[in-house]
Chain A
């Protein structure tokens, strides 16, 4: 039996990887995947921490999060596709129209 702490460590590792990937990579698609990894790391951490008291609430919650994340991923990807169509680029360094 794998101890719950191991799951938690994995979650932390995944989350840090997500952060690093978000800052290192320069295209919107990869950065979006990094965000998804961080989200799932969060899910995993929630499950790992909820394993100890042995309750099912967290699992139900995580199922919800996965559903919502699916919807969010659809919208996010659609936005990225539209940005690419408009700009012929999804490099975040090119997308700095908000510069004041």
Chain B
């Protein structure tokens, strides 16, 4: 079965094709069923291919298949070719596995939507492009997937396009990503021009073989990373992700938490040969990640929209993945990507179930006491919150610890400190959310007469599965404390990345583990004190430090700064050009040339008398003139 691994992306693609063409005429249940089934088939194929890869052991050649030769121009060529190596395998399992659960969840969540078939068509299309991105064996095809997922993200953020906020958010996501992608394209062209080949293998080998000078390596890596900051919502291009929460909640879970936004991390890992060769580029990656991780976490502290808290949390967690990549612990970055995909999609889907129960309410200030009426959503949300906070033996604990330990071992103590501070903040804002929504007094925020209720089983079963994964998936990446061979995912990915260089003494590592645990407990304790024990404490604190509170609640006014520095000048400049250049110069030239042609026509009109004699005379005079010219 693993032979047919190249069908993994094509199955959801074919399903999307059918749904886009005929979806309107298909029965609603069939649409949902077909969309989910296509992803499930992909998932089984992925597992089969993964099994083949693990059975072959370390150093096995990746599965690869060339479907067609795409661009052939001189010495350059790019083909539609898929490769299934260790990194792609891990990522594809996440995309198809989490993707399938979210498809199932959507069948209930979107059951009553008007454009039901369009939703599933886009969701399938997204899965297709994401898998193309993951399994592409060269950077040009990866870019196709990269842009494709961006398109689907835009389509799904603006899915309820009759809401102005949603269509605006879609546009914002698209435009901000264009900025990053401009740099990304330049980076790709740069590599193609210097390396002469688009395959990842050639690009990763280029710094070592001297095809790329060290300066060029840094430049190309940083250009590509600018693209990653757009797609993965890092400073300075993170501003689209919080607004992207206007989309349906399962979309936030799949695209804006689990898969697409981690594409930047995946790209850096794919090109680990390039990034590892440049100390400067790696430092840029790590520092941008670390600063984003803390920065976004501080904004999450004071947000009141439940989905926006999770969005800033996503930005912050992706920052951690970039710390991992930047300090050379690519396997740790991918490990955190996997666990994050589980617990963050769990948190989003549970939040969706909560919003569903409250009839669309997203403001946490109008929630509370939901622990009893939601006996499934509450425990699974709690598991997700504990996992992301880094409580020992849950998935987030191991993966975050793997990143922070690698940072410490690599001598990046400041990065480690930032990561630890971010961990305290993470635990705090997650439990602030938990206490505000599930504890305290019940607030009748949903429509009168209706009780908050658990959603149908199509929504709760994926939640339970994701909760189990969030709790247990950390066990695939146990730290060295548990033995040299305990880190399964590290050893598996080590085939692709080479093994991690740094090793710490067991005692040092034990200290780090304790520090991480304490920081998580500290965050939870603070949240308990502020939002459970003394519920009026947050208000007093915000009165005591009004400037800081306003700065955080205003999200550091970054949106406003971009608006003032970029958006409004561009709009004003465009208006000026419209008034002075378009209307005057362009329209003037057009109208002027039309008028000139009209005038010339009027002038030449005199010659057209319609009289045969006049024409004959002109002919005669022409002949005489011509003959005279010949004779003289």
Q: Which residues of B contact A97 (CB under 8 A)?
A: 610
Q: Of residues 568 to 585 in B, which have CB atoms within 8 Å of A's CB atoms?
A: none
Of chain B, the residue at the smallest CB distance from A19 is: B620
Q: Does A40 contact B (CB under 8 A)?
A: no
Taking the closest CB of chain A, its distance from the CB of B110, in whole angstroms, is: 67
Query: Range of interface residues on chain A?
Result: 10 to 19
Interface residue? B616 (CB, 8 A): yes
Residues of A within 8 A of B612 (CB): 28, 31, 92, 95
Chain B 571-608 against A: per-residue CB contact (8 Å), 1 yes, 0 no? Answer: 00000000000000000000000000000000011111
- Contact (Cβ within 8 A) B616 A23: yes
B609 touches A99 (CB 8 A): yes
B620 touches A98 (CB 8 A): no
A54–B606 alpha-carbon span in the complex (Å): 50
Q: When the two chains form their complex, are residues A98 and B610 in contact, meaning their CB atoms are under 8 A apart?
A: yes
Which chain B residues (483-539) contact chain A, with CB distance < 8 Å? none
> Does B611 make an interface contact (CB < 8 A)?
yes
Residues of B close to A100: CB separation below 8 A: 604-608, 610
Q: Mark A58-100, 1 if CB is under 8 A from B, else 0.
A: 0000000000000000000000000000000000110111111
The answer to whether B613 and A23 touch across the interface, beta carbons within 8 angstroms, is: yes
Contact with B along A6-25 (1 / 0, CB 8 A): 00000000000001001100
Tell me the smallest distance from the CB of B624 to a CB of chain A, in Å.
10
Q: Which residue of A lies closest to B607 (CB)?
A: A100
- How many angstroms between the C-alpha atoms of A100 and B610 in the bound complex? 7
> Which B residues are in CB contact (< 8 Å) with A96?
609-611
What CA separation (Å) do A44 and B416 show in the bound complex? 111
Instruction: Please name the residue on chain B nearest to A93 by beta carbon.
Output: B611
- Least Cβ–Cβ distance between A97 and chain B, in angstroms: 6
Q: Which residues of A contact B67 (CB under 8 A)?
A: none
- The complex places the Cα of A97 from the Cα of B610 at a distance, in Å, of 6
A59–B343 Cα gap in the complex (Å)?
Answer: 105
In the complex, residue of chain A having the shortest beta-carbon distance to the beta carbon of B604: A100
B608 close to A99 (CB less than 8 A): yes
On chain B, the residues within 8 Å of A95 by CB distance are: 610, 612
CA distance A60 to B616 in the complex (A): 30
Q: Does B617 contact A (CB under 8 A)?
A: yes
Closest to B611 in A: A96
Residues of A near B620 (CB, < 8 A) are: 19
Residues of B within 8 A of A93 (CB): 611
Q: How far is the CA of A17 from the CA of B39 in the complex (A)?
A: 95
Whether A98 pairs with B608 at a CB distance below 8 angstroms is yes
Q: Which residues of B contact A98 (CB under 8 A)?
A: 608, 610
A-chain residues with CB within 8 Å of residue B608 when the two chains form the complex: 98-100
C-alpha gap A22/B607 in the complex (Å): 20
A57 CB to nearest B CB, Å: 22
When distances are taken between beta carbons in the complex, the residues of chain A under 8 Å from B613 are: 23, 92
1/0 per position for B384-401, CB-CB distance to A under 8 A?
Answer: 000000000000000000
A29–B607 CA distance with the chains assembled, in angstroms: 25
Query: What residue in chain A is nearest B608 (Cβ atoms)?
Result: A100
State the Cβ distance, B138 to closest chain A Cβ, in Å: 64
What's the minimum C-beta distance from B241 to chain A, rounded to whole angstroms?
A: 67
* Minimal Cβ-Cβ distance residue in A for B612: A92
Contacts of B604 in A (CB 8 A): 100
Distance between Cα atoms of A94 and B612 in the complex (Å): 10
Q: In the assembled complex, how far is the CB of residue B607 from the closest CB belonging to chain A, in whole angstroms? A: 8
- Residue of A28, A92, A93, A100 ringed by the most chain B CB atoms within 10 A: A100
Nearest-neighbour CB distance to chain B for A12, whole angstroms, equals 13
**Interface residue from B609, B611, B616 paired with A22 (Cβ < 8 Å):** B616
Q: Which of B610, B617, B620 has the most CB of A within 10 A?
A: B610
Given the known inter-chain contacts A31-B612, A95-B612, please indicate yes or no for A23 contacting B617, CB distance below 8 A. Answer: yes
Query: What chain B residues lie within 8 Å of A22 (beta carbons)?
Result: 616
Q: How far is the CA of A93 from the CA of B613 in the complex (A)?
A: 9
Q: Which residues of A contact B606 (CB under 8 A)?
A: 100
The answer for the CA separation of A22 and B623 in the assembled complex, in Å, is: 15
A31 to B611, CA, bound (A): 13
Question: Contact at B605–A92, with CB atoms within 8 Å?
Answer: no
Report Cα–Cα, A36/B606, bound state, in Å.
30
Question: Chain A nearest CB: distance from B601 CB in Å?
Answer: 8
Q: Distance in Å from the Cβ of A29 to the closest Cβ of chain B?
A: 13
Give every chain B residue within 8 A of A31 (Cβ-Cβ).
Answer: 612
**Chain A proximity of B615: nearest CB distance (Å):** 9
Quick one: which of B203-252 are within 8 Å of A by CB? none
For B620, give the chain A residue with the smallest CB separation.
Answer: A19
Question: In the complex, what residue of chain B is closest to A97 when comparing beta carbons?
Answer: B610
A96–B613 CA distance with the chains assembled, in angstroms: 10
Chain B residues within an 8 Å CB radius of A99? 608-611
- Expressed in whole angstroms, the Cα–Cα distance for A93 and B612 within the complex equals 8
Alpha-carbon distance A23/B606, docked complex (angstroms): 20
* A43 vs B151: C-alpha distance when bound (angstroms): 78
Point out the residues of chain A lying under 8 angstroms from B610, CB to CB.
95-100
A98 vs B608: C-alpha distance when bound (angstroms): 7
Nearest opposing residue in chain B for A25, CB measure: B613
CB neighbours (8 Å) of B616 from chain A are: 22-23
CA distance A19 to B624 in the complex (A): 12
CA distance A92 to B605 in the complex (A): 20
**Alpha-carbon separation in the docked complex, A3 to B90 (Å):** 109
How far is the CB of B614 from the nearest CB of chain A, in Å?
9
Jot down 7 A-B pairs with beta carbons below 8 A, ordered by A.
Answer: A19-B620, A31-B612, A92-B612, A93-B611, A97-B610, A98-B608, A100-B606
Which residues does A use to contact B, with CB under 8 Å? Answer: 19, 22-23, 28, 31, 92-93, 95-100
Extra inter-chain contacts (19) besides given A92-B611, A93-B611, CB under 8 Å: A22-B616, A23-B613, A23-B616, A23-B617, A31-B612, A92-B612, A95-B612, A96-B609, A96-B610, A97-B610, A98-B608, A98-B610, A99-B609, A99-B610, A99-B611, A100-B604, A100-B606, A100-B607, A100-B608
What 4 A-B pairs come out closest when comparing CB atoms? A96-B610, A99-B610, A100-B608, A100-B605
List B residues at the A interface (Cβ < 8 Å): 604-613, 616-617, 620
